[in-house]
Structure 1
């Protein structure tokens, strides 16, 4: 089979992200890791309670999130420098976290401030600390070069905090490389997969924009048969099949990957934003072949806001069913990758081909990646 090759990122970024020399080489997309020099969510804020510590992960890195009784949350490597046991099993005292084993205490910068049974300075060793921020009900860390953290902005997150929208969160874990998720959402031509949930609809490609770090595709949808689901009608408005005629464009769905995040926005025929989805795909495992999703879905409240409240459970069930169909398919793609020993995708849609190049260009070939043979 033909293996679609994708180019890696240029060498000028090698000193920061570990990219290889000016690589003209091309790599299997599923062996290209996320660039760590961005802000990645690793927990919901409400999960990290005051005076407690919470275990989280980014790729192969265990991270302990510590929230003192006062002051902001902070992030440390989740291994005590002494015997390497998880700091997340420790105790928060004041602004420090104490290891559960021998009571070594570490401050928010990772410095060991106390080895209680020796009582002198400079004995304990530090642990790694991560730049850490909170926004939109999420806790973000910067797993790359900490010197770059201040220069990299946190992402804009859906319509969290906008009283005109109602927002729900979702956080499924998937057994697949993060790139499968970007491809799945960007390619609206897969609506046949969702025929049981949405009836017979067809995506109509309306154009695209792209740049060095982003790719956006726009679609509208035409209903070819089947009843419109209630949740869909709530978001889009009532659509009916028009026998023998081309359906008018009622809304525009814009899907955008701005590396490493992805968004989906729906504007109605008047240009008003009616739905805003923001999602981050956080890699899991040293091979990054697992993904923890953090997503926020904001829906515009109708004139009578209580109607959205009444329909909220149905909307949640509808989106859950859609996502479960997507989950099954991307995990099957990952299974095929394993069984075939690499990426045998034969892509024909120009939008997805451009997206794959974007993900490769901005990612980091991992230690197992080998240049593909050309030709």
Structure 2
């Protein structure tokens, strides 16, 4: 079982954001997933986005996928509507052709080099069924590692994808998952349970909180029992610690891991929140949930549809409430949240110092 002691860090790390947190953009100097690998077929192009930037993903019949600005340099028509020919993408309008570096290699009706202008290219990588781009300074791409993603490559686990799109700023999603005190929201799915805070760790680029849960009423959901086993009912007594749930934001990604009472990993969730829109007030989620296979693996296969329904219902409840938070932010003209939980205060400070205030960011009033 993990150490529950709180690791102390300098107090200034938990200082309140200087700007409205919902006006702090993601730092672009990280790898962000923008599409599932299976969506980008050989010999085809695919339209994706990061924040306000349209990006065309191109997969030649041979060779790795690459990423270009999704606007032809000629008339700004989306390159994703074009035709892949060899290693190049040809604009659907006039047939201008661009290579994987964004260089215009052909303006067919002029038949000479050096005529067409280039388009922006993005560093692009593929891992664990996801296509990542590096939207920031391309010179930094080689120095920033791709994230470790759940247990996708581990044959002892079964993994499912989820990808809800939300009408809210990405910071609401980090807060939602980190703060397990919101289980009251899921009472219809989970029954009456209480989160018990078990400790934290934090550093310059991460915040972690650990919890266990005590059931106060209602039956254990079938999907939960299939993953963790049936919990014992102890009439009139506090439920013992059966699992430890660890939620960690390692900027800009978030994870949730569950270890059983023996310390074995039984569930591993990895999530990236990719901003949408120039104001980043929308979010595309890319998540991978890995569940440890039981001794009789077919049992998990049989339970997989039930688990999918259960997790989808939980995500839908979270989606509704964070979108309501965003709606309130718009109506009130800013962030009026009154936060009292120290873990979320520390998380907000992490997100504030790690992100980039946008052009409209308003300094917060002190006091």
Question: What band does the TM-score fall into relative to the shorter chain?
Answer: over 0.9
Q: Which residue of 2 is the match for residue 231 of structure 1? A: 223
SS in 1 for 2:215: strand
2:262 to 254, 270, 273: 270
CA contact (8 A) 2:17 2:348 kept: no
Q: After TM superposition, give the deviation of residue 197 of structure 1 in Å.
A: 0.3
CA contact (8 A) 2:17 2:352 kept: no
**Under a length normalisation based on structure 1, what TM-score does the superposition of the two structures give?**
0.93
CA contact (8 A) 1:225 1:241 kept: no
2:62 to 53, 70, 74: 70
Matched, 1:242 2:234: yes
Please tell me the root mean square deviation across aligned C-alpha atoms, in Å. 1.2
SS in 2 for 1:35: coil
Structure-1 separation of matches of 2:159 and 2:113: 49
Q: Which residue of 1 is the match for residue 9 of structure 2? A: none
Q: Which residue of 2 is the match for residue 40 of structure 1? A: 32
Q: Which residue of 1 is the match for residue 271 of structure 2? A: 279
Q: After TM superposition, give the deviation of residue 25 of structure 1 in Å.
A: 8.1
Structure-2 separation of matches of 1:68 and 1:191: 46
> CA 1:25–1:338 in structure 2 vs 1: closer, same or farther (change >3 Å)?
closer
Q: Which residue of 1 is the match for residue 194 of structure 2? A: 202
CA contact (8 A) 2:24 2:355 kept: yes
Alignment of 1:51-70 (within 5 A): 51-70=43-62
**Under a length normalisation based on structure 2, what TM-score does the superposition of the two structures give?**
0.95
CA contact (8 A) 2:177 2:247 kept: yes
Q: After TM superposition, give the deviation of residue 246 of structure 1 in Å.
A: 1.6
Q: Deviations over 1:293-313 (max 9, x none)?
A: 000000000000000000000
Q: Which residue of 1 is the match for residue 252 of structure 2? A: 260
1:133 to 115, 122, 125: 125
Runs of 5+ consecutive residues of structure 1 not aligned to the other structure:
1-7, 10-23
Runs of 5+ consecutive residues of structure 2 not aligned to the other structure:
1-11
2:114 to 95, 108, 122: 122
Q: After TM superposition, give the deviation of residue 373 of structure 1 in Å.
A: 2.5
Q: Which residue of 2 is the match for residue 30 of structure 1? A: 22
Alignment of 1:284-363 (within 5 A): 284-363=276-355
CA contact (8 A) 2:17 2:353 kept: no
Q: Which residue of 2 is the match for residue 12 of structure 1? A: none
Matched, 1:148 2:140: yes
CA contact (8 A) 2:273 2:283 kept: yes
